[in-house]
Copies of this chain bind each other. A is one copy, B any other.
Amino acid sequence: MSDRPDLGRGPTLRDVALRSGVAVSTASRALTRPGRVGAQTEARVRAVAEELGYVPSASARALTSGRTRTVALVVPDTANPLFFGMVRGVQSRLRDAGFVHVLADTEESVEREEQVMAELRGSVDGVVLAAPRADEASVTAWAEEFPVVTVNRDVPGPRVLIDTAGGVVHALQHLASLGHRRVAYAGGPRRSWSDRQRREALIAAAGGLDVELVVTGPYVPRREGGPAAADATLLHGCSAVIAFNDLLAFGILDRFAERGTTVPDEVSVVGCDDIFGTDLVRPGLTTVAVPVERAGAAAADLLLRRLAAGARGGARVVELPTHLVVRGSTGSVPR
């Protein structure tokens, strides 16, 4: 039935103008600037647009305005439930502001990250860059070239930082108060800023708490990394382990169950992030709750502000606190 070759995506403003008997400029105004045009002209144009099923071309708009009203969210691993909360946070804010968002996965690879950032520069107004793995120099360079807000990476420019360092210290205090004197930290990716923060904070805090901290790893921050971390914990004679993240902690719990090592009676386990599933396991996982959705929303806000203000948005920093969620996986030291 349709005589157009399908890919010519619908009627254009010109069609609407023609059919309304007005000029394209008038049609444009009627649709985008209510009030700047004769009342009945506007009504007619709107009616025709509706009738024709007119949808403005985002590309053409972007071309004239210089802005695409699109921002990208770049994460290291879309399979990690941690980032889904972030996606939601970013999305909700963006949607309210009339923006679209694209999602990019860098697969924990620095090369992919650089490639993705380069491509994005030509197609979006800005980027929320979560837990970047690239050099500080690269990240800084990107941020100078176009609007970038980082999450969980302390580089110059607007950024959202989550104080998981403080959170894991609370976890360590919690363990110390339960009598643990030898605690393992099962580390995550070496390129992860978060990992370094957590590790260093734990090392610094251990002395004052009269706790010996044993750093193990790095482990892949997924469930598959857990078994090795569990075994290393026992090998080093630790009575508790703090895992880089919850996925790793799940794997640790798997391995302990498999070995017949009971949690928390024989060993305590603490995770980090409080992702989906922490209250599904038995015992429930004690973990450092990270407000990812808020972080995503905050990052989106920062980016939107930056876009509205041009380069003069300043380099605002939002710091979000964490809190320890105590469930069943931690208990008194075995004796």
Contact = CB atoms under 8 A, between A and B. Distances in A.
Interface of A: 2, 5-10, 53, 55-60, 62-63, 66-68, 70, 78-79, 81, 84, 87-88, 91, 95, 100-105, 118-119, 121-123, 144-146, 250, 276-277, 280-282, 310-311
Nearest to A70: B102
A129 to B, nearest CB: 16
Contacts of A59: 58-60, 62-63, 68, 123
A87 B78 contact: yes
Contacts of A146: 9-10
Contacts of A103: 87, 91, 101-103
* A-B complex: 7 closest residue pairs judged by Cβ atoms: A58-B123, A59-B62, A6-B311, A55-B122, A282-B282, A277-B277, A59-B59
A101 B101 CA distance: 9
Which of A88, A95, A280 has the most B CB atoms < 10 Å from its CB? A280
Given A281-B281, A281-B282, 11 more contacts: A7-B67, A55-B122, A56-B122, A57-B123, A59-B62, A59-B123, A63-B63, A78-B91, A100-B123, A276-B277, A280-B280
Contacts of A122: 9-10, 55-58
A332 B290 CA distance: 41
A280 B247 CA distance: 11
Which of A9, A67, A105, A146 has the most B CB atoms < 10 Å from its CB? A9
B79 A81 contact: no
Nearest to A118: B55
A10 B277 contact: no
A9 B142 CA distance: 12
Contacts of A5: 310-311
Contacts of A121: 9-10, 55
A283 to B, nearest CB: 10
B84 A88 contact: no
Nearest to A253: B280
B84 A78 contact: yes
A95 B282 CA distance: 38
Contacts of A277: 276-277, 280
B9 A144 contact: no
A70 B58 CA distance: 12
